[in-house]
């Protein structure tokens, strides 16, 4: 018999994927969120529980009797802390799908007691698992590069809203992770060529994603750089909204340490859909005790990264391209 799992933001695009994934695995999802009408319309056959993040008593009622909560409601700068605090009062683990750099920084800085896994999604969680798997038994590297080869990126309303909040928090500046710390800057982002296994593609350099928080949270890596395919970056900048993006992705991870390169590549379809098995697999592993850490921890720290990635097949294909002598990337 499955567990009752709360899904905060259960009527959103990713939230609906998470609810479906829970049902497919035999669990009993309990969708929750701010809008009672949207909850009822999205899940007419489920026990839905309305709760706003500014109402602690309502959040407590929403989490009563459940085994864990998955937060899918952005902007996470607004929702993460209240839902984590409610999870702490309920004594249950918390997982979210936050891609917001600053929101994830806040989560690592503020919480320690409750089992919390932030950014357990396509951005942040997947990259961290791939980097950790590439390193094997090592916990340090000189450089980490994560290149996102999305065929397109038609963002949801939640993605656009979260991006606006992050931009406002930065005062419109950009962010990079260098010298072992986040650095805010006004430099323009370069266009580069990344050598994906299927062939070179143009990418935007320093297109910084949540990996710059998750990876160095547990690995000694002074340089973490992320890149985005030019086509996807243009889609995102245009603010195109699509509820059903026809999208494929490749995540190409290059880890450099002591003059040796290690490379792992993952591929699949739909960055929002793949976030559901990532988050639900995380909850299942926490509830069954298959964890390596307590408190706030990224995916690569709390889980066996290689085993976790294998569990995502066939929806995610992961290939190790082995080791080689470090060289230049052509820029």
C-beta separation of 292 from 301 below 8 A: yes
CATH of the domain at 265: 3.30.360
What is the Cα–Cα distance from 196 to 255, expressed in whole angstroms? Answer: 14
Same domain for 203 and 98: no
Same domain for 240 and 143: yes
Residue 246 has pLDDT above 70, yes or no: yes
C-beta separation of 124 from 118 below 8 A: yes
In this prediction, residue 327 carries a pLDDT of: 53
Q: Residues, the chain, total?
A: 331
* Full residue range of the structural domain in which residue 98 is found: 4-122+274-305
What is the Cα–Cα distance from 49 to 69, expressed in whole angstroms? Answer: 13
Residue 328 has pLDDT above 60, yes or no: no
Q: Name the pTM for this structure.
A: 0.95
Same domain for 205 and 170: yes
Same domain for 183 and 318: yes
In this prediction, residue 329 carries a pLDDT of: 47
What percentage of the chain reaches a pLDDT higher than 70? 96
In this prediction, residue 330 carries a pLDDT of: 43
CATH of the domain at 60: 3.40.50.720
What is the Cα–Cα distance from 241 to 160, expressed in whole angstroms? Answer: 8
DSSP conformation letters of 257-282:
ETTEEEEEEEEEE-HHHHHHHHHHHH
Same domain for 287 and 261: no
Q: Kindly indicate the confidence band of residue 157, based on its pLDDT and cuts at 50, 70 and 90.
A: confident
Same domain for 250 and 147: yes
Counted domains in the chain: 2
In this prediction, residue 154 carries a pLDDT of: 87
What is the Cβ-side half-sphere exposure of residue 280, based on CA atoms within 13 angstroms? 28
Residue 158 has pLDDT above 90, yes or no: no
């Amino acid at each position: 018999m499955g567990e009752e799992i709360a899904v905060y933001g259960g009527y959103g695009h990713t939230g609906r994927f998470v609810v479906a994934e829970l049902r497919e695995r035999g669990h009993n999802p309990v969708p929750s969120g701010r809008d009672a009408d949207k909850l009822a319309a999205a899940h007419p056959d489920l026990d839905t529980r309305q709760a706003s993040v500014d109402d602690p008593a309502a959040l407590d009622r929403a989490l009563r009797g459940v085994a864990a909560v998955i937060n899918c409601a952005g902007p996470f700068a607004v929702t993460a802390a209240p839902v984590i605090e409610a999870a702490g009062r309920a004594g249950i683990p918390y997982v979210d799908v936050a891609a917001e750099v600053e929101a994830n920084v806040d989560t690592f800085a503020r919480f320690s007691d409750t089992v919390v896994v932030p950014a357990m999604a396509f951005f942040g969680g997947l990259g961290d698992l791939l980097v950790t798997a590439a390193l094997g038994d090592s916990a340090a590297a000189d450089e980490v590069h994560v290149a996102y080869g999305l065929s397109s990126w038609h963002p949801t309303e939640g993605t656009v809203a979260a991006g606006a909040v992050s931009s406002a928090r930065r005062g419109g500046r950009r962010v990079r992770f260098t010298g072992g710390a986040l650095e805010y800057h006004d430099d323009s982002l370069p266009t580069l060529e990344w050598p994906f296994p299927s062939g070179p593609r143009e990418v935007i350099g320093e297109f910084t994603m949540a990996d710059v928080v998750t990876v160095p949270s547990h690995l000694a890596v002074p340089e973490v750089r992320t890149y985005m395919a030019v086509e996807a970056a243009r889609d995102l900048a245009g603010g195109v909204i699509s509820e059903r993006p026809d999208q494929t992705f490749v995540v190409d991870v290059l880890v450099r340490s002591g003059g040796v390169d290690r490379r792992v590549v993952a591929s699949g379809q739909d960055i929002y859909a793949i976030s559901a098995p990532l988050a639900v697999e995380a909850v299942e592993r926490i509830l069954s005790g298959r964890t390596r850490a307590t408190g706030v921890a990224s995916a690569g720290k709390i889980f066996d990264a290689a085993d976790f990635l294998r569990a995502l097949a066939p929806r995610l294909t992961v290939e190790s391209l082995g080791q080689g002598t470090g060289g230049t990337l052509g820029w």
